[in-house]
Amino acid sequence: MKNEITNIKASVRARLQNKARETGKPFAEILQYYGMERFLYRFSCSEYVNKFILKGALMFTEVG
C-alpha cells in the first residue's frame, strides 16, 4: 500500500525548503516562483486559457 500524504501543504513546504537548501537560493524566492508556476498551470487548465495573452519575461531565470 502506498504512503498517502496527509498534510499536502506541509509536504509542499518541506520540498520547497529542501529545494532552497539545495540551490542556495532564499526560501522566499523559491516560494514566489512556485506560486507563479502553479498559477500558470492552473490557468492553463482553465476554460479561460484562450482568452488571455500573457506577456513578459518574469519567469525567465538566469542559466548559469
What pLDDT, in 10s, does the model give residues 8-30?
Answer: 999 999 999 999 999 999 999 99
Q: What is the structure's pLDDT at 32?
A: 93
Domain count, the chain: 1
Q: Is the dihedral of CA 28, 13, 25, 31 positive or negative?
A: negative
pLDDT band at residue 64 under the 50/70/90 scheme: very low
Domain range for 15: 1-64
Sign of the Cα torsion 44, 45, 48, 49 reads positive
Q: What is the mean pLDDT of the chain?
A: 87
pTM: 0.75
